[in-house]
Structure 1
Amino acid sequence: MTTSAELQARRVAAVPRGVGNVTQIFAKKAKNSELWSEDGKRYIDFGAGIAVVNTGHQHPKLIKAIEEQLKAFSHVCFQVTPYENYVSLAERLNAIAPIAGPAKTMLASTGAEAVENAVKVARAFTGRPGIISFAGGFHGRTLMGMALTGKVVPYKKGYGPFPPDVYNVEFPNVFHGGSTGQSIRSLKSLFKHSVDPSNVAGIIIEPVQGEGGFNIVPREFMVALRELCDEHGILLIADEIQTGFARTGKMFAMEHFGVKADVVTMAKGLAGGMPLSAIVGRADVMDASNPGGLGGTYAGNPVACASAHAVLDVIAEEKLCDRANAIGKTILDRCSALQNNSNLNCIGDVRGLGAMCAVELVKDKSSGEPAPELTAALLKSASERGLILLSCGTYGNVIRFLVPLTASDELVKEGMDIFEAALTDAVAKVA
């Protein structure tokens, strides 16, 4: 039997160190919300491949759809010989996307590709170059994605210069003292000092920041942002790559805010593990690009499209939006109870929408100083105890919970028991 330690040695020799790993667990098989390592150890998966397998690992409906498509054909390139399941998937996404008016969809392969193409269609439609993003936001590791991303280490350091006409403004991070008013003032100050709004094509925002720390946009800010975009003819681009497909208790997080976007980027949970992303936008915006200006050799791969159709079916049939809310309540209730445990004194904030939940760890609640060392110790202890967790946040001090939405109540409870034990252990070690 090949061990994880042996594979780690091979990985170090063969793969560049810039490709980071959260754990040194080498997966051998996975099922629903559990996986087993090459060493034969069982783990509860609270990462879901970074919100990709919302429908669980190896869902039988997805496997069946993939197998059936593979028997027909695996690749012909949509731009050469189109196929039905790309078109029908576009129709389904057009019908459910949080877009005002008729929509059209372009499929790609990765979240970063979706962001790149969202910028392209915004510029083509408006004839303007400028794009605005937010501090703490994450939009990918391509050159434009890095320019838009509001976190320097590890995503931007050493990789510049970045594309011009990209502007980063303050995000209304409530826990860290931000507010809707401050962020709106930041935008208006940008319009006065750096770029005229008539030169801005789009504003891109994650309704819940992913890598930035699961920071939830205040509803009043999203409403104000929509009004500001309408006032200046700027497109509102919602990055739903991590928040989409039932993760927040609704199909898309924008549904929590009562406003529509002009363009929405999607990936991760869209195809349940197959590489697929989508750019869904107002029909007039999406049609502004000339034929050949959008696309890609693997964009909208038919096997991935088949899996995405199965994902949409499973979400509806198994009522995974409702399930996300139930799982989220379990996690948030447990974390709130731990926050009130005076023996810990390290949970500064508990937040979440649906099953997109997080705790922000601090050195003590009175100071609110970030505790990245504690976070690292918690991740290590959880892994040793059989629980896969992910961190995030500008200061590396946020634990995010991304439980597959098909997880049983018993498995969620077991995972949270391990989390509590690991947190208690980490607090004792770091103290």
Structure 2
Amino acid sequence: MLPEIIVPPPGSRSLALAAKLRAYEARGVTLIDPEFPIFWERAEGANVWDADGNRYLDFTGAFAVANLGHTAPAVRDAAIAQAGILLHAMGDVHPAALKADLCEALSRITFERWGLGAGKTFLANSGSEAVEAALKTALLHSGKPGVISFTGGYHGLGYGALEAVGIDYFRAPFRAQSARFGVQLPYPHCYRCPFECRDGFRLEGSPFPNCSTPCLEKLRSQIAATIEQREIGCILVEPIQGRGGEITPPRDFLRILREICDEYKVLLILDEIYTGFHRTGKFFACEHFGVFPDIICLGKALTGGFPLAACVGRSDIMDAWPASSGEALHTSTMLGNPAGCAMALASIREHEKDTTAAAARRTGRTLRLALEALSSPHIGQVRGVGSMLGVELIKTDGSPFPQLSVAIMYQGLKDGLILLGGGPAGNVLSFSPPFVVSEDEIGYLREKLQEYLTSLPGSIS
């Protein structure tokens, strides 16, 4: 059985690091108070050790990055080997050979795998950059600047990507500099339906709600009206929302988007930065729906820990870009970094193994059963797919209860659990653990969460 984990208050080294960060990091990034944050020193599997030697269980996967586990041996070894050979190349002039290998691999696991021909790739340093490459591609392909995105969506915080983000907290301070090319429409959310319909029901054995036809038809009409009124070049969407609170849309949502895009000659861009690489139990979340994009954005678990992302599109669409004349039209200094490419290739090889998909599904089933076994009037809904799960916390009147989410995160740290809150209101406990987390570790999580749900609500004013 898993030994009990007891973490003391932050030690001297953590307190010193917090003071240093407060002095030298720009405000608006890291929350610092007497009990937060912990400073990571090392990590392995589902375990993290902080600067004072305390051990934690990570149920966030470090923002859904460590799908294969922290310091996954194959990825770690690839990074070490590459660091001893070549750390940097001239990505858009004289690239590393690994850049070509990675672009080929990304075509193989996406459009070729779906039977749609070859794909072509823009490599990037972050998910936000990958999204912005996709938006640029849509404009060049269609000549139309408009973008439809959805409430609750999260696509990164660069100015291009920010225009498509559906969480107002991130957009409001910068609205005066907004390009205003985006249109936000409701993301179908059956627990808090934007069309005020009854809750969608789940088919037996399926995590996807079977939403009523009127809801999706209303959304179809809104999308069609927007396309007819504005110059829309693409629809950008997460097939399952991550930062928005693990929102699983109705089964027919992506199918309707695909139909609309085909009818109006609009590109469908799927942001699978969070959901990709078996996070939902399949290689990519769109495969649950049998719907495939024109462009897909990837990141996070692509490398398992190195800042590298990708925008991959069908070749005929990506060829809307003019051939380079010697001055790249879209590039960056670190484009196709050799260490990142080596790690991504190692990660892809691991994800192409049947054992990885099986581990993702097994972890998801065990975690879901543990979360569904919790008993509390403050649990509104347990939802999600695969190893991407959320628990929505509510007050007795059904309204969001973000204070409880925060209290659980703080108490969790004291008991050696790294937890994360999500959703626009901050009232969703989000779970995206490494696939190597054990049943005993999940059992420890369930035990502690039940304690928190029983003891903490009464102490929150």
For Structure 1 versus Structure 2, the TM-score category normalised by the shorter chain is over 0.9
Greater shift in the superposed pair: 174-183 or 72-81: 174-183
2:378 is aligned to 346
1:53 aligns with 2:85: no
1-structure distance, mates of 2:416, 2:216:
41
Greater shift in the superposed pair: 256-265 or 101-110: 101-110
1:18 aligns with 2:18: no
2:90 is aligned to 77
User: Which runs of structure 2 are paired with 1:115-194 in the superposition (5 Å)?
Assistant: 115-153=131-169, 155-161=170-176, 162-178=178-194, 181-182=214-215, 184-186=217-219, 188-189=221-222, 191-192=224-225
SS for the counterpart of 2:320 is coil
Q: Is the 8 A contact 1:75 1:301 kept in 2?
A: yes
1:3 is aligned to 13
1-structure distance, mates of 2:105, 2:124:
16
- CA 1:106–1:197 in structure 2 vs 1: closer, same or farther (change >3 Å)? farther
1:263 is aligned to 295
2:392 is aligned to 360
2-structure distance, mates of 1:389, 1:159:
29
Q: Is the 8 A contact 1:381 1:426 kept in 2?
A: no
Q: Is the 8 A contact 2:96 2:336 kept in 1?
A: no
Count, aligned residues: 423
Q: Deviations over 1:344-401 (max 9, x none)?
A: 211100111110011100013xx32110111111111111111000111011100011
SS for the counterpart of 2:138 is helix
1:417 aligns with 2:447: yes
SS for the counterpart of 2:161 is helix
1:217 is aligned to 249
- CA 1:189–1:408 in structure 2 vs 1: closer, same or farther (change >3 Å)? closer
- CA 1:183–1:133 in structure 2 vs 1: closer, same or farther (change >3 Å)? farther
Over the matched positions of the two proteins, sequence identity in percent amounts to: 36
2-structure distance, mates of 1:416, 1:299:
42
1:36 is aligned to 49
1:335 aligns with 2:371: yes
Q: Is the 8 A contact 2:370 2:443 kept in 1?
A: no
2-structure distance, mates of 1:52, 1:233:
34
1:371 is aligned to 401
- CA 1:394–1:368 in structure 2 vs 1: closer, same or farther (change >3 Å)? same
2-structure distance, mates of 1:332, 1:320:
18
2:207 is aligned to none
SS for the counterpart of 1:391 is strand
2:8 is aligned to none
2-structure distance, mates of 1:242, 1:320:
17
User: Which runs of structure 2 are paired with 1:309-324 in the superposition (5 Å)?
Assistant: 309-317=345-353, 319-324=355-360
- CA 1:34–1:406 in structure 2 vs 1: closer, same or farther (change >3 Å)? same
The one-letter code sitting in structure 2 at the alignment partner of 1:8 is: A
2-structure distance, mates of 1:275, 1:51:
13
SS for the counterpart of 1:156 is helix
The one-letter code sitting in structure 1 at the alignment partner of 2:151 is: A
Q: Is the 8 A contact 1:139 1:149 kept in 2?
A: yes
Compute the RMSD of aligned alpha carbons: 1.9
Q: Deviations over 1:18-60 (max 9, x none)?
A: 1034941011111111111112211101111100111111122
1-structure distance, mates of 2:58, 2:156:
23
The answer for unaligned runs of 5 or more in structure 2 is 1-10, 195-210
SS for the counterpart of 1:201 is strand
2:340 is aligned to 304
> Out of 368, 382, 386, which is 2:416 matched to?
386
Greater shift in the superposed pair: 110-119 or 183-192: 183-192
TM-score by length of 1: 0.93
> Out of 202, 222, 234, which is 2:266 matched to?
234
1:250 aligns with 2:263: no
The one-letter code sitting in structure 2 at the alignment partner of 1:401 is: F
2-structure distance, mates of 1:318, 1:30:
25
Q: Is the 8 A contact 1:47 1:390 kept in 2?
A: yes
The one-letter code sitting in structure 1 at the alignment partner of 2:439 is: D
SS for the counterpart of 1:148 is coil
2-structure distance, mates of 1:304, 1:264:
19
1-structure distance, mates of 2:335, 2:229:
33
1:67 aligns with 2:80: yes
1-structure distance, mates of 2:20, 2:172:
27
The one-letter code sitting in structure 1 at the alignment partner of 2:82 is: Q
2-structure distance, mates of 1:372, 1:79:
46
1-structure distance, mates of 2:24, 2:367:
38
- CA 1:426–1:300 in structure 2 vs 1: closer, same or farther (change >3 Å)? farther
Q: Is the 8 A contact 1:270 1:311 kept in 2?
A: yes
SS for the counterpart of 1:157 is helix
Q: Is the 8 A contact 1:381 1:425 kept in 2?
A: no
SS for the counterpart of 1:72 is coil
CA shift, 1:186, in A, is 4.1
Q: Is the 8 A contact 1:245 1:270 kept in 2?
A: yes
CA shift, 1:142, in A, is 0.7
SS for the counterpart of 1:65 is helix
> Out of 100, 110, 115, which is 1:97 matched to?
110
2-structure distance, mates of 1:235, 1:149:
18
- CA 1:354–1:189 in structure 2 vs 1: closer, same or farther (change >3 Å)? closer
SS for the counterpart of 1:74 is coil
Q: Deviations over 1:212-270 (max 9, x none)?
A: 11101222111111001100000000000000111100111010011110000001110
Q: Deviations over 1:198-221 (max 9, x none)?
A: 721100000111111110122211
